[in-house]
Amino acid sequence: MRLILLGPPGAGKGTQAKMLKEKFHIPQISTGDILRQSVKDNNELGIKASSFMDVGELVPDDVVIGLIKERIKQVDCETGFILDGFPRTIVQAEKLSETLNEMGLLIDRVVDLEVTAEEVISRLAGRSTCPDCGGMFHEESRPPKVSGICDGCGGVLAQRQDDNSETILKRLDVYQESTAPLKQFYKKQGNLKAVTARGSVEEIFSRVLEMVK
């Protein structure tokens, strides 16, 4: 099973990807994670990526696609994978399709998590994350057992600097301009399924499962 999760910031892509990973025992591939790992490993693509990241520039699509290709070649991806937050533009989607075709692979399902701007603001403004293990919490829907402390590893929770109403609206504008057109791209390919991302995490997950089974 090879999946892509689409949706605006705060739609719950990371949370749903983790639940799919546990359910189907396939890896969750986050471009941020593989970029950091490649830089840490100091391999050829990691060195290239680092040269852009060190000066605050976006890593070129070709380098990111190369990293994803190397990741997909690993043994744990033989039975499938979940792409979380990539592609973000039509150009990236086209390059990803070309790369997968060269590898003899296809994306089985693209799940679009639909959520309103009001809900996104509510979710992100109250969100905190653990910098140590990546655990995510929300002051209303998923508060930690001890305020400010991660349930999983005991790390100190923090709010992202861009999780404020003004910045969130700007991020949503960017999403609508660059990422939302991906819906039409995958709709033409016949593998796009929309899921209403309202309700509890478990309710949303049950809808996602209906779309991927």
Residue from 23, 40, 73, 160 carrying the catalytic annotation: 160
CA dist 46 and 64 (Å) reads 10
- In sequence order, the 6+-apart residues with CB closer than 8 A to the CB of 10 are 115, 119, 120, 121, 123, 124, 127, 168
Q: Is 109 a catalytic residue?
A: no
Residue from 2, 95, 123, 127 carrying the catalytic annotation: 127
Q: Is 123 a catalytic residue?
A: no
Residue from 18, 171, 183, 193 carrying the catalytic annotation: 171
CA dist 202 and 213 (Å) reads 16
Q: Is 13 a catalytic residue?
A: yes
Residue from 18, 21, 88, 142 carrying the catalytic annotation: 88
Q: Are strands 192-196 and 127-129 parallel, antiparallel or unpaired?
A: unpaired
Give the tokens for residue 36. Answer: 């950091």
Residue from 13, 48, 71, 95 carrying the catalytic annotation: 13
Give the tokens for residue 196. Answer: 């209403």
Closest-CA residue to 123 (of 30, 58, 28, 197): 197
Q: Please list the active-site residues.
A: 13, 88, 127, 160, 171
